[in-house]
């Protein structure tokens, strides 16, 4: 009997390759510095997202218990619940639902509720892409709403910026479609109310002062900034050339004049 017959070899993944899903993720042995850095960054981003998702899931499991809703949500009340942005993961509480006192009253114009509904779908789609679960109420009708078809890989537009990776911030900021917009929001933490922001984001009381999603919600190209949104939250869009370009492209389809704001 050969000595080799009695030997066993344990093979485990190298720690620096944790999160690798295919051969293209393996950077070890690469001589091309740029390609090596690209693969390392991809693994770091993937690991960062996994850690955040696990931490948030553990936080919800250990600290929070949300009772299921006792009432039924009718289709006409789709626009009647506060946008999930208003929930601060650090102080998580289910928002009470009152269709008569809601931040998003159902307008007589059927287009407005549709716009608001799509904004919520878009928000939940980006939450799904980033594996963020801690700011979705258990039992919420929006938890099971149909999402936009989204890619398996992390879109470049949602990849965390250096500021996101180094600065504590509410998780709702991570789903904003523009990197510069996310950085602007992080720098302005404490200077604005999340509840006011999310009320405007989804249209406000008029239903026409928020954001409009026309296409893929994970990138700036799919969004339009309305005049009301820009008027009330101009500081969030400073330097966002991507959002301005997309906005004016959508406005041009309706023969509307372009919106212009500070890019410096």
What's the pLDDT score for residue 203? 62
What's the pLDDT score for residue 81? 35
What's the pLDDT score for residue 51? 74
Q: Which two tokens stand for residue 225?
A: 């900034």
CB-based contacts of 155, cutoff 8 Å, min separation 6: 129, 218, 219
pLDDT digits (tens, 9 = 90+) for 127-145: 888 888 766 543 444 455 5
CB-based contacts of 142, cutoff 8 Å, min separation 6: 81, 84, 120, 124, 136
**Percent of the chain residues topping a pLDDT of 70:** 56
The enclosing H or E element of 231 equals: helix 227-232
pLDDT digits (tens, 9 = 90+) for 42-76: 777 777 777 776 665 554 444 333 333 333 333 33
pTM above 0.85, yes or no: no
**Percent of the chain residues topping a pLDDT of 90:** 19
Of the two residues 120 and 97, the one the predictor is more confident about is 120
pLDDT digits (tens, 9 = 90+) for 15-41: 566 666 666 666 666 777 787 777 778
What's the pLDDT score for residue 247? 93
Least confident of 46-55, 163-172, 183-192, 210-219: 46-55
What's the pLDDT score for residue 111? 55
At residue 131, the 3 state secondary structure works out as coil
CA 34 to chain centre: 29
Q: Say which residue the tokens 């180094």 belong to.
A: 166
Give the separation between CA 38 and CA 48, rounded to whole angstroms: 15
What's the pLDDT score for residue 224? 92
Average pLDDT along the chain: 69
pLDDT digits (tens, 9 = 90+) for 72-110: 333 333 333 333 333 333 333 333 333 333 344 444 455
Give the separation between CA 255 and CA 248, rounded to whole angstroms: 10
Can you name the residues that pair with 225 across neighbouring β-strands? Answer: 211
Output the DSSP codes for 45-79: HHHHHHHHHHHHHHHHHHH---PPPSSPPPGGGGG
């Amino acid at each position: 009997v050969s000595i080799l017959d009695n030997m066993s070899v344990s093979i485990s993944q190298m720690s620096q390759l944790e999160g690798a899903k295919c051969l293209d993720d393996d950077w070890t042995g690469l001589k091309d510095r740029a390609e090596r850095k690209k693969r390392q960054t991809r693994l770091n981003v993937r690991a960062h997202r996994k850690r955040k998702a696990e931490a948030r899931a553990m936080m919800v499991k250990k600290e929070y218990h949300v009772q299921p809703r006792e009432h039924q949500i009718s289709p006409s009340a789709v626009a009647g619940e506060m946008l999930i942005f208003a929930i601060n993961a650090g102080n998580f509480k289910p928002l009470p639902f009152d269709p008569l006192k809601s931040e998003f009253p159902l307008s007589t114009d059927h287009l407005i509720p549709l716009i608001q509904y799509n904004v919520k779908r878009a928000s939940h789609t980006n939450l799904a892409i980033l594996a963020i679960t801690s700011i979705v109420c258990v039992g919420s009708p929006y938890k099971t709403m149909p999402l936009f078809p989204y890619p398996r890989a992390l879109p470049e537009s949602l990849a965390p910026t250096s500021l996101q990776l180094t600065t504590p911030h509410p998780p709702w900021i991570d789903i904003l479609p523009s990197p510069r917009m996310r950085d602007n929001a992080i720098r302005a933490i404490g200077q604005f109310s999340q509840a006011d922001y999310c009320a405007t984001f989804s249209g406000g009381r008029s239903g026409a002062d928020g954001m409009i999603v026309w296409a893929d919600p994970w990138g700036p190209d799919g969004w339009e900034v309305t005049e009301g949104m820009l008027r009330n939250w101009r500081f969030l869009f400073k330097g966002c050339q991507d959002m301005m370009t997309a906005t004016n492209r959508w406005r041009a389809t309706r023969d509307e004049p372009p919106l212009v704001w500070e890019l410096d």
